[in-house]
Amino acid sequence: MNLLARINPLDILLGPFSQDIAIDLGTANTLVWVRGRGLVIEEPSVVAIDKLSRRIIAVGAEAKRMVGRTPADIVAVRPLRDGVISDFAVTEKMLQYFIRIAINSPFLARPRVVIGVPSGVTDVERRAVHDAALNAGARACYLIEEPMAAAIGGGLPVSEPTGSMVIDIGGGTTEVAVISMGKIVASTSIPVAGDEMDRDIMAYMRQVHNLLIGESAAEEVKIRVGSAMVMEELSVTVRGRDLATGLPKEVTVSSVEIREALSRSIHAIVDAARRTIEVTPPELVADIMTRGIMLAGGGALLRSLDRRLAQETRFPVYVAEDPIRCVVRGCAAAMEEVSVLARLQAVNSRRPPRQVS
């Protein structure tokens, strides 16, 4: 590819004044990193919209607080669901909003943008994210698959001829990938991650305790007492609505119950890890045996999930330092390397086959 042929003379003039940015466009959280300034935005991927005018009322944490609490003419939506873009127009608006806030400059600044996208997005969606970034003022946009970004951000030696394995457990998807020499060699993506765990808890409370609870309450229960293995057990009081009477009710649940509620999702994550290992070449398996599997994403913080995965896969497993920010750090690191950017463009057009289930 002749990169020089792609250079716009205006970019050479404006380049030094622009702030290149890296974005982890996650289904649960969007993180934005600006070269020279570091992490500037870390907000839930939620947008509150006026249904009639389609005007944006709020984005991020402010919009997340509105979920389930909006009047009839306002909706709080999560435009990315289960690792795919479910509402493109809103995703574009959200991206534009974050890019503009991140640039925050009165000068004509046209940043280059590196965006981490779920590896389950289709080519049409990749094009859409790319175009949205250009519409928001970017002069170039490079897309990087989340597990690759997570591996780079977690400090794995992705370009060396050695096997690195990462499991990124986000809100919408769990992505398992084995990487060697800068390429994803084997990968599996499942739509089971933090959001599904929240739904498990909502279903459990409904079925076992006759209690209707919202998504945020379920997430709080998961974070406070959720676990993947037997431990010093905890309990938490949950507020919701009694399904029989329709009245408010409080129920105290234990970590034992929540572990049972989460068991199906945990099993699906373990199974995705095992299936990826099964199709990994033996030499790389030996490397991973030595160096271990790295867990990234917010879901990696679930208590004892690392121990459970180690027990079930028989590989050493560890949680990355700062797992929620691995992807954005990886995107930022990719941004620093023109050679990586050039390769990303090639990857964008020719991606390896992937198991999706």
Say which entry of Mg ion, ligand ATP, none residue 195 contacts (CB below 5 to 8 A, set by partner kind). ligand ATP
> Of 64 and 259, which CB lies nearer to Mg ion in the complex structure?
64
In angstroms, the CA 138 to CA 163 distance is 34
> Of 83 and 287, which CB lies nearer to ligand ATP in the complex structure?
83
Say which entry of ligand ATP, Mg ion, none residue 324 contacts (CB below 5 to 8 A, set by partner kind). ligand ATP
Q: Is 178 helix (H, G, I), strand (E, B) or coil?
A: strand
Give residues 20-79 in contact with Mg ion (rule: CB under 5 A): 26
> Of 162 and 174, which CB lies nearer to ligand ATP in the complex structure?
174
> Of 81 and 242, which CB lies nearer to ligand ATP in the complex structure?
81
| Rounded least distance, CB 149 to Mg ion, Å | 9
Closest CA to 35 of 322, 325, 323, 333: 333
| Rounded least distance, CB 54 to Mg ion, Å | 27
Please say whether the beta carbons of 142 and 113 come within 8 A: yes
The edge-to-edge listing of strands for the beta sheet with 293-296 is: 317-319, 293-296, 164-169, 174-180, 183-190, 355-356
Binding site for ligand ATP (CB under 6 A): 26-29, 83, 118, 146, 170-173, 193-195, 219, 222-223, 226, 297-299, 301-302, 324
| Rounded least distance, CB 168 to ligand ATP, Å | 6
Closest CA to 32 of 114, 137, 121, 149: 114
Q: Quick one: which segment of 164-172, 215-223, 271-279, 313-321 binds Mg ion (CB under 5 A)? A: 164-172
> Of 26 and 60, which CB lies nearer to Mg ion in the complex structure?
26
| Rounded least distance, CB 24 to ligand ATP, Å | 6
Whole-angstrom CA distances from 168 to 40, 163, 180, 273, 357 are: 22, 16, 17, 11, 16
| Rounded least distance, CB 325 to ligand ATP, Å | 9
> Of 175 and 287, which CB lies nearer to ligand ATP in the complex structure?
175
Task: Please give the residue whose beta carbon sits closest to ligand ATP in the complex.
Answer: 194
| Rounded least distance, CB 215 to ligand ATP, Å | 10
Say which entry of Mg ion, ligand ATP, none residue 219 contacts (CB below 5 to 8 A, set by partner kind). ligand ATP
The beta strands (E) that lie in the chain are given as 21-25, 29-34, 38-44, 47-50, 56-59, 74-77, 80-81, 84-85, 112-117, 140-145, 164-169, 174-180, 183-190, 211-212, 235-242, 248-254, 293-296, 317-319, 355-356
User: Please, what is the angle between helix 326-336 and helix 338-349, to 10°?
Assistant: 110
Per CB under 5 A, 170 contacts Mg ion: yes
Those residues whose C-beta lies under 8 Å from the C-beta of residue 220, and which sit 6 or more positions away, are: 236
Say which entry of Mg ion, ligand ATP, none residue 330 contacts (CB below 5 to 8 A, set by partner kind). none
Please say whether the beta carbons of 113 and 99 come within 8 A: yes
Query: Which residues are near Mg ion by CB under 5 A?
Result: 26, 170
